[in-house]
Each structure stands twice: as structure tokens, then as C-alpha cells.
A and B are shown apart, each in its own frame.
Chain A
Amino acid sequence: MRPVSSWGRLSAEPHQVVDLSDIAALVDQTRGMGPAIPLGMGRSYGDACLNPGGSLLNTARLDRFHSFDPETGRLVCEAGVQLRDIQRFMLPRGWSLPVIPGTQIVSVGGAIANDVHGKNHHRVGSFGHHVRNLKLVRTDGQAIDCGPGVNPDLFAATVGGIGLTGLIATAELQLQPVAGPWLDTEILPYRSLDEFLTLADDSESLWEHTVSWLDCTAGRRTRGIFLRANPAVDQAGKPPVPSRRAVPVTPPLSLFNRLTLPVFNTLYYHLNAHRGGTKRRPFDTFLFPLDDVQDWNRLYGPRGFYQYQLVVPRDAGPAALRDILDIIAKSGQGSFLAVIKTFGERASPGLLSFPMPGITLSLDFPNRGARTERLFVELDAVVRAAGGRLYLAKDARMPRDLFDAGYPKAPELARFRDPGMSSGMSRRLMGH
């Protein structure tokens, strides 16, 4: 048994960690295990990848490629391969993953199990849309292939299924051709939520990647920085090697508090508002700015932090977001740089997939115990009333009724669950 934390560092409870490293022995290693849950890079913020008192099936060393067809861009690899590794090897060969979340340091299995999305959701949908096939190893000793064309029901339960349908052993991914690592990027400051929405609507048809930072300490006087990017037509030049920085120690207190936050946010806003304009950047510094700062989650201090990511339908969205920003401003527990983005219309492939047409906002909150929970209760009420939902990959505390309301297809998952799989999250939200 050893203590394991997820990315939010809210707990460090003992787990039995089973290191899987041999794909050939997987069926034997997982048979009769349980209660267990697969663990990839542990980048979920809450308890989706935790199983206090039980087992974690660590896939970090199931990290081998099985085949790649340079004609069609089909890659078959093991579940523990990191997205960063795929990019590192496939970009020079002219191929890229179509969907990557805000960090590349996640495993393929985790990306599928959480049906992650990227800054190009409006163009390409979520990660699960690009999975052609996967092999699921169940704790009863079965190994089952599923995909959009084979066992599609089990596939829909597994994509976004937070590990509850079995262990994803291998997956076949469809990559997309790319010219190179450069993006032509544009930075636009905006000064109201309406301005953001106009920018988002105008950008979606012409720009591949869109995302925006929002200063949520400013209350109704919303301001932010809109970022959009397209692959550069001219790809000349080698990208610079990013400098790696690390957070060496955990500060005794969260560095983000009532005093520092407005300062950080104002600085960030003005720095970028002045930079403005267009610039050519390597894709990774634009899309994954935090990947070069190792262990940035330590900045929130020893008590860890919550991430609260919500999506609200487009119609009810603007009003709901205004309420949410008000509540946060009043609470004085703002987040360092909230991230806001619009999702496209493409229906998500999984029963528990997070993306739906609308607006998504994600916020970090240092863990201040009951005060933070009280804030969440207020935010939950707005999300519920607007017909929205919270992102399971980031959740550590949502109440069961909000889960039931936000994920109406959840009861269908029961049929496909691997009885040997259970997690902190599944016990909290589904009772077992």
C-alpha cells in the first residue's frame, strides 16, 4: 500500500498499486482483481482515478506502440502511452493527434476514459470521435474489442466511462495530417462577456483553435484575453526547445489568495493585452502553456485545490455565466485565470462524455475547506438551473443529484460496468 494523490492533491490515501508492464500478461494480472480502477498519469483532478483502500492498475509502463500506418495515419498503441510521446514521434512524420486537452501529459487510456476535449472542439469533437477501436480487458478474464462498428454500445460506455467498464489495454487512433509544429496565433483582449461570445462565434468558422482566459476577480466587469490559432501555411524553421521549469517545493500556503489574485490577473490581462496581435508560435507552447512548468499543482499549497469545470447550454449560458462570475467575485475566492470556451455542435460519443453544445468555464480554487464547499453549493445551483453539468475528470465533490441531472444517460452505464472496477468517484456518484 502506498499513498496516492490525483492532480488536485486533495488527498493521499493508501492504495495497492499494481504496476502493469507486460501487455501479454494483462489478462492474468487483472483477473479477479478488485475493487480496482485503472490509473494513467493521474492527471484527473479529483477521485476519478483514485480508489482508497483498493487497487490501482497503473498503466504508465504499458507505453509501447504496436503499429503505425504512415499512409492512413492509423496508430495502434498501448493505453499508457502519453499523448506527448505520440506528438513527439508523429509530428516529424507529418501526423498529429486531432484532440489534445490542456496538457499532453495524459495517457491514451485516460484520454479515452474521460473523453477529453481540446481547444478545437468546435472543429473535431472530442477524443472519442477519433478512436477506431480499443481492446478492453475485464476482470473476469475477457478481452473484448469494441469501436464505433464493433460492440458500439460497450464502446459508448467506455468512451468517457472513467474506467468503470474495464481496463483499456490498447487503442487504435486516427491521426490527422499536419504540415508542421507552427501555429499562427492571435491574441485579442475583450472587456465583456458579450464581446467574448461575439469573438467566439466569429472565430469558430475560420480558426482551428480557440480559447480564452477570463479575469474572474473582476465580477460583472468581465475582461479577458481571447486566443485563436491556425496551422501556419509556411512551416519553415525548427521550433525552439521549451525551457523546463519546475516548482521545487510545496509552499506552506496557497500562493493564490484574496490579496494576490487580483494582482496576478490584472498583470496577466495587461501583459497580454499589450502583446496583442498575431504571432507565430510552436503548437505546444500555445496549446499547453503549463506543461513546461513541472508540478505546477504544488503552487496551491499542501491542502491542494479543486478544479470546477462546468458546461451550460448556449441559450441559458450567458445569464448563468454572469451569475457564476458574480458569485465568485462576492466570495473573494477567485481563480487564477479562468478558462472559457465554446463547444461545437457535434454530439459526444460516450454515455458520460462531458462536452455538449454550449459554453464551458473552468476554474481553480485552492482548498479552503467549508468555505470553498459553500461556494460550490451556490455554483452548483446555477449549473443545475441552467441545465448544465460538471466535468467528471476534474470533479472531486459534486453531489449525486447534480450528477444525475447532468448525466441523464448514466443509468445505462450499469449494464456495461466491469463488476471488478470501482473508484472513489463511482462510489460517491453511483453508490458502488
Chain B
Amino acid sequence: MDQKKRIVVVGATSSIAEHCCRLWVQKGPVELILVARNVALAERIATDLRARGGAVDVSVETMDFLSVPAIAEAVARWTTQAPVDIALIAHGVLSPQLPCQEDLARAHEALEVNGVSPVLFAEAFAGAMERAGNGTIALIGSVAGDRGRRANYVYGASKALMDRYAQGLQHRFAATGVKVVLIKPGPTDTPMTAQYKAQGRKLASVESVAEGTVNAIERGTPVAYLPRKWQLIMFVVRNLPNFIFNRLNI
């Protein structure tokens, strides 16, 4: 019998995170701590996971994702109960660009929810995992963090913060048993992107992105573009000279 894996999912109502959990309960015995703002939805997700899996232990918690003391307290509590094998940090909101430009408060919120808060969670886990000498921190970033574009640069900047942070954390843990995984999904078919779908854009399925995420976490892949084609696309986008890039409407 395998040892039960202990996984904390921050932002557990995110579609990608939910589908990752479905894969985990299918793989074997697992203890899941789902952390969410929308507790009613998280409870329904927990019920689903309990029904799917045989040997699963699922609990739901809620907290203020923007409160520094709350983050420190919660992560300390989870990691002292027992070692955490995986921390998946998945919360975020798709903040449309225009409201962020027109209202500083919206921009502030977008930066905090999508950038600052995930980084603080990761930093809190990093200390505990370093002491334990083991664990994987997985962050869900975005291809939008690779280059600022007029269409979504506030959101992109928050994801870029996560990108550079993960890079540093990987450097810090290079010679240890702690792994840091940054997932960069392209546009994915989730409730968050319903407006894109209505415009007829082709989106990756959330199942395939979750599968890629779970695999990347298992292997400790430092940066995983999902689906893989985005690695090539973003390589091109990052390396376009400004005089071309600035003329493009992308």
C-alpha cells in the first residue's frame, strides 16, 4: 500500500485545480486540503472527489487570500500537522484590461490576487518544505506573463511576477529535494474564459491541461507550457523585436 500523499490546493475551485484533484484521487490514496473562497462550491467539489476515489480524505477550508497573517498561520498549521507533499497554488481571476486601466482599485486587486497572494503562499510553503527537505510547490502562471501586451498587461504583469519568483525559488532549491514547478497554460476552456469561447476561439480542454499539470508536478518540470505548442509560440512572441511587436495587434 502506498503512503497517502498529502496535497494542499489553494484556489481549489479553479477548474484546472479541480481536474488535477480528480486525477490525484484516481491515482491512489491521497489526502486533499481544499482551500477556497467559495466554500459552497468547494464542498461540492469535495463531495465529488470523495465519491470518485476509494481511499481519499478531503477537507475544505476558507480564509482571506490577501491577508499576510492568515496565509502564514494557515500554511504553518498545514505543514506542522504532517509534511505536505504537494502545494498547488491555483487561485486567480481573469482581470480584463480595460477596467484595470480605468480604475486603479481594479488594477490593485488584479495584481494582488493573481501575483502577490500566490507568491506569499509559495514563500510560506517554501520555508516548511526546506526544513522537511522534501515537497513540490506548483504555481499556475500564464503565457500572458511572458511578454506584456496591450490586451492584458496588468494581468500579464501579475503572472510575470510569479514567473520571476519561481525562477528564484528554483535557484534557491536547486540542490535540494524541494521542487518548484511553474505551469503556463495557454487559453483553456474554463468558466473563466467563457467570453473567448463565445467569440469562437479555440481553447485547450481543461482535462488535458490538468493532465499536463499533474505530470509536470510528478516529474518536477521547472516550467511547463500547456499545451506544449505554447512553448514555441511564446518563444517567438518573446523574441520579436519591438519595432515589429508594437505594430502587431496581438
Chain B 27-61: CB-based contact to A (< 8 A → 1; otherwise 0): 00000000000001100110110011110000000
Main secondary structure of the interface of B (DSSP, over half): helix
Q: Are B198 and A65 in contact (CB under 8 A)?
A: no
Given contacts A88-B26, A92-B54, contact A64 B194 (CB under 8 A): no
- In A379-402, the 8 Å CB interface with B consists of none
Q: Are A61 and B191 in contact (CB under 8 A)?
A: yes
Bound: A19/B206 CA distance, A: 15
- In A22-77, the 8 Å CB interface with B consists of 22-24, 61, 64-68, 70, 75-77
Q: Are B194 and A19 in contact (CB under 8 A)?
A: yes
**Nearest Cβ distance between residue A293 and chain B, in whole angstroms?**
17
Bound: A21/B54 CA distance, A: 25
B69 within 8 A of A: no
B200 within 8 A of A: yes
Chain A 66-100: CB-based contact to B (< 8 A → 1; otherwise 0): 11101000011100000000001100110000000
Bound: A391/B200 CA distance, A: 32
In the complex, chain B residues whose CB is within 8 Å of the CB of A89? 25-26, 52-53
A2 within 8 A of B: yes
Chain B 174-216: CB-based contact to A (< 8 A → 1; otherwise 0): 0000000000000000010010011010000000000000000
Bound: A68/B48 CA distance, A: 9
Bound: A226/B25 CA distance, A: 39
Residue among A2, A67, A70, A89 facing the most chain B CB atoms (10 A cut-off) = A89
Give the tally of cross-chain contacts (CB within 8 A): 39
In the complex, chain A residues whose CB is within 8 Å of the CB of B198? 2, 17
Q: Are B51 and A75 in contact (CB under 8 A)?
A: yes
Given contacts A19-B194, A21-B191, contact A65 B41 (CB under 8 A): no
Q: Are A65 and B191 in contact (CB under 8 A)?
A: no
Q: Are A68 and B51 in contact (CB under 8 A)?
A: yes
**Nearest Cβ distance between residue A63 and chain B, in whole angstroms?**
8
Given contacts A89-B26, A89-B53, A92-B54, contact A66 B47 (CB under 8 A): yes
**Nearest Cβ distance between residue B61 and chain A, in whole angstroms?**
19
Bound: A143/B198 CA distance, A: 29
Bound: A380/B147 CA distance, A: 60
In the complex, chain A residues whose CB is within 8 Å of the CB of B191? 19, 21, 61
Task: Pick the contact of B52: A17, A19, A24, A65 (CB < 8 A).
Answer: A65
Given contacts A21-B191, A70-B54, contact A2 B40 (CB under 8 A): no
Bound: A22/B191 CA distance, A: 11
Task: Pick the contact of A66: B48, B53, B54, B197 (CB < 8 A).
Answer: B48
In the complex, chain B residues whose CB is within 8 Å of the CB of A77? 51
Q: Are B200 and A2 in contact (CB under 8 A)?
A: yes
Q: Which residue of B lies closest to A86 (CB)?
A: B52
In the complex, chain B residues whose CB is within 8 Å of the CB of A68? 51-52
Bound: A19/B191 CA distance, A: 8
**Nearest Cβ distance between residue B243 and chain A, in whole angstroms?**
35
Bound: A24/B25 CA distance, A: 24
Q: Are B200 and A65 in contact (CB under 8 A)?
A: no
**Nearest Cβ distance between residue A59 and chain B, in whole angstroms?**
14
Q: Are B54 and A67 in contact (CB under 8 A)?
A: no
Chain B 209-249: CB-based contact to A (< 8 A → 1; otherwise 0): 00000000000000000000000000000000000000000
In the complex, chain B residues whose CB is within 8 Å of the CB of A66? 47-48, 51
Q: Are A93 and B54 in contact (CB under 8 A)?
A: yes
Bound: A61/B44 CA distance, A: 13
Bound: A363/B45 CA distance, A: 41
Q: Which residue of A lies closest to B194 (CB)?
A: A19
Q: Which residue of B lies closest to A1 (CB)?
A: B198
**Nearest Cβ distance between residue B194 and chain A, in whole angstroms?**
6
Task: Pick the contact of B47: A22, A65, A75, A92 (CB < 8 A).
Answer: A65
Bound: A68/B47 CA distance, A: 10
Q: Are B52 and A67 in contact (CB under 8 A)?
A: no
Q: Are A23 and B51 in contact (CB under 8 A)?
A: no
**Nearest Cβ distance between residue B191 and chain A, in whole angstroms?**
6
Residue among B40, B52, B200 facing the most chain A CB atoms (10 A cut-off) = B52
Q: Are A67 and B47 in contact (CB under 8 A)?
A: yes
Given contacts A19-B191, A89-B26, contact A67 B200 (CB under 8 A): no
Q: Which residue of A lies closest to B41 (CB)?
A: A22
Task: Pick the contact of B48: A17, A19, A61, A65 (CB < 8 A).
Answer: A65
In the complex, chain B residues whose CB is within 8 Å of the CB of A23? 44
Bound: A17/B40 CA distance, A: 25
Bound: A77/B48 CA distance, A: 8
In the complex, chain B residues whose CB is within 8 Å of the CB of A2? 197-198, 200
Q: Which residue of B lies closest to A69 (CB)?
A: B51
Q: Which residue of B lies closest to A65 (CB)?
A: B51
Bound: A19/B47 CA distance, A: 22
**Nearest Cβ distance between residue B215 and chain A, in whole angstroms?**
13
Q: Are A64 and B41 in contact (CB under 8 A)?
A: no
Q: Which residue of A lies closest to B47 (CB)?
A: A66
**Nearest Cβ distance between residue B47 and chain A, in whole angstroms?**
6
Q: Are B26 and A64 in contact (CB under 8 A)?
A: no
* Selected A-B contacts with CB under 8 Å, 22 pairs: A2-B198, A2-B200, A17-B198, A19-B191, A19-B194, A21-B191, A22-B41, A24-B40, A61-B191, A64-B44, A64-B45, A64-B47, A65-B47, A66-B47, A66-B48, A66-B51, A68-B51, A68-B52, A88-B26, A92-B26, A92-B54, A93-B54
* Sample of 8 more A-B contacts, CB < 8 Å, known A2-B197, A66-B48: A2-B200, A19-B191, A23-B44, A66-B51, A67-B51, A77-B51, A89-B53, A93-B54
Chain B residues with a Cβ under 8 A of chain A: 25-26, 40-41, 44-45, 47-48, 51-54, 191, 194, 197-198, 200
Ranked nearest first, the 4 interchain pairs of A and B with the lowest CB-CB distance are: A65-B51, A64-B48, A68-B51, A89-B52
